[in-house]
Amino acid sequence: MFIFDFVAETILDQILDWIYGKIIGFLNDFFVMMNNMGVELFDLPWVEAVTTFFGYLGWALFGVGLVVGAFECAIEYQGGRGSIKDTAMNYIKGFMAVNLFTIVPINLYSLCVSLQGTFGSAITGITNAESIGLTAQQVLMSASFPGVGNPILAIFCAIMMGYAVIKVFFANLKRGGILLIQIAVGSLYMFSVPRGYIDGFIQWCKQVIGICITAFLQSTILTAGLMVFRDHPLLGLGLMLSSTEVPRIAGQFGLDTSTKTNIMSSVYAAQTAINMTKTVVKTVAA
């Protein structure tokens, strides 16, 4: 009877270890698939048409910005403050920006998603290489799984795990659309960059970087939390919950992933472009 119980417990440990590893591998592959959906969004014909349209819009605003920048340089030159060198540098910056603002965000996001999948596979692969049954046996022992023997605490941990997974799921689901909005909004800055006003465009670059970093960190930290949860439940739960705070922490360092501020500043830039274009047309007509 003792031998039967020992064999049954060993087989059960192996089954639990295999199931847990498969669940974590599934979640990692699932989040990789969700992030890849954001990348594949830009392969759709209508999305390519949208990005092409805003690319042309950026080129049009860039051309207007060149003309306005030349007028501003001439006006400042008459007052002794103009600099042809600074104007030429602004033109070069604007030319680089208008060529890359529809290309770099997509490629950077694709790179971050690819890195997230590689890191997640490496994390789950390290655990799958452990001896079969060792981790599951530790999970079943109350000494290495402190406090979860309490059913109330177990329910609380399950709720928190579900909250973290669901929140990261919805964040990944909308990230591709947010990046598309960022590209559309970025075209409005092409009027300001050749004139030397690059603060808004730099903030736009930070927001694009924030989206890509968030795509990499959120899923990676969530996967790491699931792995740690087996040996240290509360520590793993803390890691999973911290993954939902990545956008807020990035925003504290200037990498805000929201679009509210960016859109408002871009609308202001577009209004300025329209007003300046009207002024130039009236001046030339006179």
Q: What pLDDT, in 10s, does the model give residues 93-114?
A: 999 999 999 999 999 988 888 8
Domains held by the chain: number: 1
pLDDT at res. 13 = 58
pLDDT at res. 128 = 42
CA proximity to 193, closest of 84, 85, 103, 87: 87
CA proximity to 160, closest of 240, 266, 255: 240
Q: What percent of the chain has pLDDT over 90?
A: 12
Nearest-5° angle of CA 144, CA 148, CA 151?
Answer: 155
Range of the domain at 83: 2-285
Mean pLDDT of the chain: 74
Residues contacting 225, CB < 8 A, separation 6+: 164, 236, 237, 238, 239, 240, 241, 242, 243
pLDDT at 283 over 60: no
Helix (H, G, I), strand (E, B) or coil at 143: coil
Report pLDDT digits (tens) over 224-273: 887 777 777 778 888 888 888 887 887 777 676 665 545 555 555 555 55
Task: Assess contact for 58 and 101: CB atoms under 8 A.
Answer: yes
- The CA distance from 93 to 102, in Å, is 15
Report pLDDT digits (tens) over 122-135: 776 644 434 333 33
Q: How many residues does the chain have?
A: 286
- Containing 102, the helix (H) or strand (E) segment is none
pLDDT at 12 over 70: no
Instruction: Quickly list H helices, 41-103.
Output: 45-78, 84-100
pLDDT at 199 over 60: yes
